[in-house]
Amino acid sequence: MSISIGNRILLGFAVITAILVALGLYATSQIGTVRETIDRIVSRDLMVLRQLDDLGNRARDLGVQRRNAVIAVLMRERGRSVKDEDYYAIWRRTAAATDTLFADLTRMSGEFRTQSISSDRAASWERLSGALRDTLQTYTVYRDRSDTQLKAVTAADFDAVETMNAEVSRLYEATVSGIDQTRSALDESIAAGQRGATGTYERSRLSIILTLIGAVALSLLVAWAITRAVVRPIEEVMTFVARIGTGDLTVRTAATGNDEIGRLGTTLNAMVDNLADLARTNRSSTADLNAAAAQIRASAQEQAASVEEQFAAVQETAATVDEITHSGAQISKRASDVIATAQASAQNAKAGLRAASDTAKAMDAIREQGEAVAGNIVALSEKTQAIGEIITTVNDVSERTHLLSLNAAIEAAAAGESGRSFAIVAAEMKLLADQAKGATVQVRSLLSEIQRGINSSVMLTEEAVKRAAAGKLRTDATVRTIEEMAARVEESVQTFQQIVASTNQQQLGIEQVMGALQNIRQASQQTAAGTREVEMASANLTELAQGLMTLAERYRL
């Protein structure tokens, strides 16, 4: 994927947030539905209940007013004084109000029956409407008969009033009983409404629970997908880095792309390529250095043998000169021997001069190769520092992720029960951040070990360069000494020729020869010491080359 790690995590949070928002909106909608249902049931039932209570009161008022009128007529018939009131007019107003209540109740029961929330509720309203119709029919007969009776009361027709009284009373009781039955039907409707509200609540609760379970499952799936998209590439890179730490430079990581892990994988692949090139160059240079050190050591051993021969020749020359001082007769013969020996010494000196020149050239080659090795190792050190900067960037990302997960956990805790899934995701992010941080610590430890090995190689290479430079200086001193020795040998040859030519200068020639021999002896001793130092330096150089070869063999190319 070309999406960065930060955008992947942000996308996961956005998806989970959208799920939570959708869940909240759905729960709010269900709660609104339940509330609307309850409000509808309560408002309608209370309205009808008030109307029925008012209707019952009106019906009882009609009965009381009718009885008062009948009682007044009967008392007036018996000659008792009664308060003069227009009972009929009062009853007519109450009857009109009762008619209005019946009409309103009939209309509302019909409307509520068609707008019921359930079939049970509709059946209850149907029963209520039927009871109300029956009660209305009874009430209509009761009202008409009461009206006739009250007209008789107004006309003072006492017989008619008394005759109709029993029938009107029965109709009154039937009307009140019908209203009570209608009230019972309303109670059934209220119970059905309560059951409907409970059912709506249960359905809403179940749907919210199922939606919550689905949201949690989807959130876990999103969290798992994010974890797989982030952790798996990091584990592959860590395995790749671990194999590099063991010296395997043949492996390459497949984690390449435009995200952080892909860029890290590309950089690590480039680093391994550079390390492989550097290891090959180091191995080749070390092999050349080892061969050059072996040649220098062989040349030093040959030079030491030549110096020993030269020293023996000088000893012989000294013995010859000593014999010259004891035997003048043998001066010519000894002088000839000395000349021959001196010429041989001159040839040996020239050979030693050539060997010393070759040694100096070998020292220069060793120094140049050592400097090349040091440059390659410094380049390797710069690459490891670049890797360290990349690891620092990864560590910074893990720390920011850790802080982000902490903030998410705080928000989840503040959200309470609804933020539990969000807290789980935050915990998983925190665990991921901790694992990424631990991985960067391991990579940093491996880079530290590589850096220490590089520093050790640089120190060894610099020491080899210094020793090669010191060997070069000693070789230059040897060259100068051999040149001086050759010059002295030539002087010795000339001296002995003068001895042969002139016996008178024998003593002076002998003294010159003795002085020359003394100088040659000192020069030979110095040459021998320098040769031993060159041999020791070459041995150290050989040991250094073998150590570099051992280090180079650690890497598989």
Give SS3 for 330: coil
- Model confidence pLDDT, tens digit, residues 23-32: 777 767 766 6
Which residue range forms the structural domain that includes residue 312? 247-552
Is the domain of 200 the same as that of 266? no
For residue 394, pLDDT over 80 is answered with no
The dihedral through the CA atoms of 542, 547, 548, 553 has a sign that is positive
Beta bridge partners of residue 248, listed in sequence order? 556
Identify whether 159 is part of a domain. yes
Eight-class DSSP state of 247: T
Is the domain of 263 the same as that of 364? yes
Is the domain of 231 the same as that of 298? no
Identify whether 147 is part of a domain. yes
**What string of H, E and C letters represents the secondary structure of 72-100?**
HHHHHHCCCCCCCCCHHHHHHHHHHHHHH
Identify whether 205 is part of a domain. yes
Give the pLDDT confidence score for residue 78 in this predicted structure: 65
Identify whether 557 is part of a domain. no
Q: Rounded CA gap, 453 and 2, in Å? A: 37
**Which of 181, 213, 235 marks a domain boundary?**
235
Is the domain of 231 the same as that of 254? no
Is the domain of 208 the same as that of 298? no
Q: How many helices (H) and strands (E) does the chain have?
A: 8, 0
- Across the chain, mean pLDDT equals 74
For residue 59, pLDDT over 80 is answered with yes
CATH number of the domain bearing residue 398: 1.10.287
Say if residues 335 and 510 touch (Cβ distance below 8 Å). no
Give the pLDDT confidence score for residue 183 in this predicted structure: 81
Nearest-5° Cα angle at 484, 482 to 485: 60
Q: Rounded CA gap, 265 and 267, in Å? A: 5
Is the domain of 58 the same as that of 178? yes
- Model confidence pLDDT, tens digit, residues 328-349: 566 667 667 766 776 776 677 6
Identify whether 23 is part of a domain. yes
Is the domain of 200 the same as that of 315? no
For residue 1, pLDDT over 60 is answered with no
Identify whether 242 is part of a domain. no
Is the domain of 161 the same as that of 197? yes
For residue 62, pLDDT over 60 is answered with yes
**Which of 212, 235, 258 marks a domain boundary?**
235
Give the pLDDT confidence score for residue 338 in this predicted structure: 60
Is the domain of 296 the same as that of 440? yes
Name which of 119, 113, 130, 108 is nearest 184 in CA terms: 130
Q: Rounded CA gap, 428 and 38, in Å? A: 42
Query: Residue 556 corresponds to which tokens in the numbers above?
Result: 């598989």
Q: What residue type is 29 in one-letter code?
A: S
Is the domain of 219 the same as that of 311? no
pTM: 0.35
Identify whether 384 is part of a domain. yes
Identify whether 340 is part of a domain. yes
Is the domain of 228 the same as that of 262? no
Q: Going by C-beta distance under 8 Å and a sequence separation of 6 or more, which residues neighbour residue 377? A: 278, 282, 454, 457, 458, 461
Task: Indicate the number of domains in the chain.
Answer: 2
CATH number of the domain bearing residue 21: 1.20.58
Is the domain of 209 the same as that of 351? no
Mean pLDDT of all residues in 295-300:
72
Q: What is the DSSP string of 125-137?
A: HHHHHHHHHHHHH
**Which of 207, 235, 263 marks a domain boundary?**
235
555 φψ region: left (φ > 0), alpha (ψ -120 to 50), beta (else):
beta
Q: Which residues of 121-158 are buried (b: 16+ CB within 10 A; e: fewer)?
A: bbebbbbbbebbeebbebbeebbebbbebbebbeeeee
Mean pLDDT of all residues in 511-530:
71
Give the pLDDT confidence score for residue 506 in this predicted structure: 64
For residue 532, pLDDT over 70 is answered with yes
